[in-house]
Amino acid sequence: MKKDVHEELGLKPGQSLELLQELHILTREGRINQDSRRKLKQVYHLVQFIEKLLIEIPAEGGHPTLADHGAGKSYLGFILYDLFFKPRGVGHIYGIETRADLVDKTRELARRLGFERMSFLHLSAADAAPRRGSCRRGSTWSPRCTRATPRPTTRSPSA
């Protein structure tokens, strides 16, 4: 019996090979980049932890919104979106990053991959923090509550 490429490489079932190549976790030939193996293992561990929390959001109206502060190249955000948010068809991930070049690159990658419910904001963590009072709606974070004016690449469900 022939092994599935995901199983052969130690990847999660249904995971986007194109995404992993874009993140340089897989080579263009489809092999694991040995320098990224440890990074992928760390991200899988975080996804497993976060996924358990996201599942606890009530099913009725429970569209999770996640803010990844200091997103960098957004390995965690992209993989979490690919494995959890995308298959469910609900929720939104915001990558918060101060380096404009990384924000531009991650916006472009999300657009290219069709990850419509991912937005990347050029903000500091302090500027992205909710203001006191009415900003929190249940267990979600709303970009309307930021001190700066975010310009997400896609419109969020809460906007």
Say which residue, 67 or 134, is predicted with more confidence. 67
Q: What confidence tens digit (pLDDT) does each residue in 7-42 have?
A: 777 788 889 999 999 999 998 888 888 888 888 889
Q: How far apart are CA 46 and CA 76, in angstroms?
A: 8
CB 69 within 8 A of CB 128: yes
Number of domains in the chain: 1
Beta-bridge partners for 140: 137
Asked whether residue 26 is domain-assigned, the answer is: yes
* Whether pLDDT at 151 is above 70: no
Range of the domain at 20: 5-145
- Burial of 78 from C-beta contacts in 10 A (0-12 / 13-18 / 19+): buried
Out of 58-67, 96-105, 126-135, least confident range: 126-135
Asked whether residue 151 is domain-assigned, the answer is: no
**CATH (domain of 13):** 3.40.50
Asked whether residue 54 is domain-assigned, the answer is: yes
- Average pLDDT for 52-77: 85
User: What is the chain's mean pLDDT, rounded?
Assistant: 80
Stated pTM of the model = 0.76
Q: How far apart are CA 145 and CA 35, in angstroms?
A: 38
Q: How far apart are CA 96 and CA 98, in angstroms?
A: 7
| Residue 68 one-letter amino acid | D
Q: What is the pLDDT of residue 150?
A: 37
Closest CA to 88 of 109, 59, 45, 68: 59
